[in-house]
């Protein structure tokens, strides 16, 4: 079946091609990327479900839904005896947060995904991560801990495939697409869905060992308003000239909750987060990975750096992460260039064979 899956709708540009400065009208969606969306294929016939209609919700409703989502995913993983590798269920939710329905008038994406077999779901997740790697290799590489297990599909046994199915069903039924499936970045940024999933899957002892305490969204919203008040006052007069470029940084970013609140505050002031520079550091690999995924979901733009490091021990954490991101982008360019060259050679060979046969 052809899933109505838009892998690139949340992406406005690639990191090496920053968006042109300019104010963003309030409550508008970013332009769709020119990259053609990939479609996952499967043999199951498409359900005749009605197209999904995304309902706008309040911030409070979004936070409640996110909390319920975390509980549902943790319960599903534990009941399925998924094991200690919590990066797997968190990665499944992260992948689902990266997609949206390609066409509002096409069959319901949620129903289509729910109809897939466990093995078809694994193939779908591979396509989601691969597609986003092409567009944002820097952030997807930072999120590697969430998806690297998919690189060896032959090693995924039937039980792991079953756990994938169970967690996917739980996340979809708990409303992940209602939180992140919107075209409007303001709607996608009302809460941090992945934060709740991390907190509920990780044991209290593990959280204390990491010093991990996720700040409630209502608190991050308030802090962001206070912190950005001065920026707003200073730039209000020249806002139409988009003289932005301030660097917004969180040295203990977790999954990015403070950046989300700051981006929302900027949007309500008429700014585009893509015109700002964003960075965050967190010592926990899973939290940093979720922060990288959230940067895409929340539409922070091309100027984002996520470091997995100890900001107290390494004052150059952001600079080191930025250098690593440049290397990853260069590798992507090399891989894609090689792929295009191979495709061109094959096309030429096919034309020659066709001419000889004639």
Local confidence pLDDT in tens for the 358 residues of the chain: 466 666 555 554 444 444 443 443 333 333 333 333 333 333 344 444 454 455 567 889 999 999 999 999 999 999 999 999 999 999 999 999 999 988 778 889 999 999 999 999 999 999 999 999 999 999 999 999 999 999 987 889 999 999 999 999 999 999 999 999 999 999 999 999 999 999 999 864 434 444 445 556 555 555 555 455 444 444 433 333 334 789 999 999 999 999 999 999 899 888 999 999 999 999 999 999 999 999 999 999 999 999 999 999 999 999 999 999 999 999 999 999 888 878 877 777 777 677 666 6
Q: How confident is the model at residue 344, as a pLDDT? A: 79
Helix (H) or strand (E) holding 282: strand 277-282
Residue 24: C-alpha distances to residues 27, 123, 124, 185, 240 (Å): 9, 36, 33, 11, 10
Instruction: Give all strands (DSSP E) within 79-208, no chain letters.
Output: 100-101
DSSP codes of every residue in 138-166: HHHHHTHHHHGGGG-GGG--HHHHHHHHH
Helix (H) or strand (E) holding 188: helix 185-188
CA–CA separation, 94 and 200 (whole Å)? 15
CA–CA separation, 187 and 124 (whole Å)? 25
The whole-model pTM stands at: 0.77
Domain ranges of the chain: 5-308
CA–CA separation, 131 and 235 (whole Å)? 37
Q: How confident is the model at residue 346, as a pLDDT? A: 78
Tally the residues of the chain.
Answer: 358
């Amino acid at each position: 079946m052809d899933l109505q899956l838009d892998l690139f709708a949340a992406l406005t540009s690639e990191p090496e091609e920053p968006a042109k400065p300019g104010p963003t009208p309030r409550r508008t969606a970013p332009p769709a990327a020119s990259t053609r969306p990939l479609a996952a294929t499967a043999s199951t016939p498409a359900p005749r479900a009605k197209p999904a209609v995304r309902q706008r919700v309040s911030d409070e409703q979004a936070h409640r839904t996110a909390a319920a989502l975390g509980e549902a995913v943790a319960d599903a993983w534990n009941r399925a005896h998924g094991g200690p590798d919590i990066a797997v269920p968190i990665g499944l939710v992260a992948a689902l947060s990266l997609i949206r329905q390609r066409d509002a008038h096409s069959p319901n994406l949620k129903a289509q995904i729910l109809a897939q077999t466990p093995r078809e779901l694994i193939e779908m997740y591979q396509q989601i991560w691969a597609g986003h790697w092409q567009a944002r290799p820097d952030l997807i590489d930072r999120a590697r801990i969430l998806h690297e297990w998919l690189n060896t599909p032959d090693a995924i046994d039937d039980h792991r495939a079953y756990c994938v199915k169970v967690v996917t069903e739980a996340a979809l039924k708990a409303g992940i697409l209602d939180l992140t499936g919107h075209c409007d970045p303001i709607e996608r940024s009302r809460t941090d869905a992945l934060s709740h999933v991390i907190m509920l899957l990780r044991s209290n002892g593990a959280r204390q060992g990491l010093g991990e305490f996720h700040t409630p969204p209502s608190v991050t919203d308030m802090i962001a308003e206070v912190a950005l008040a001065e920026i707003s006052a200073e730039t209000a007069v020249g806002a139409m000239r988009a003289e932005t470029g301030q660097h917004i940084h969180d040295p203990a970013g977790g999954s990015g909750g403070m950046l989300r609140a700051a981006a929302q505050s900027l949007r309500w002031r008429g700014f585009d987060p893509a015109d700002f520079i964003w960075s965050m550091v967190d010592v926990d690999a899973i939290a940093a990975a979720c922060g990288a995924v959230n940067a895409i979901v929340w539409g922070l733009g091309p100027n984002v750096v996520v470091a997995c490091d100890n900001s107290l021990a390494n004052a150059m954490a952001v600079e080191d992460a930025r250098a690593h991101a440049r290397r990853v982008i260069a590798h992507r360019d090399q891989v894609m260039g090689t792929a295009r060259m191979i495709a061109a050679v094959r096309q030429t060979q096919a034309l020659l064979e066709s001419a000889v046969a004639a």
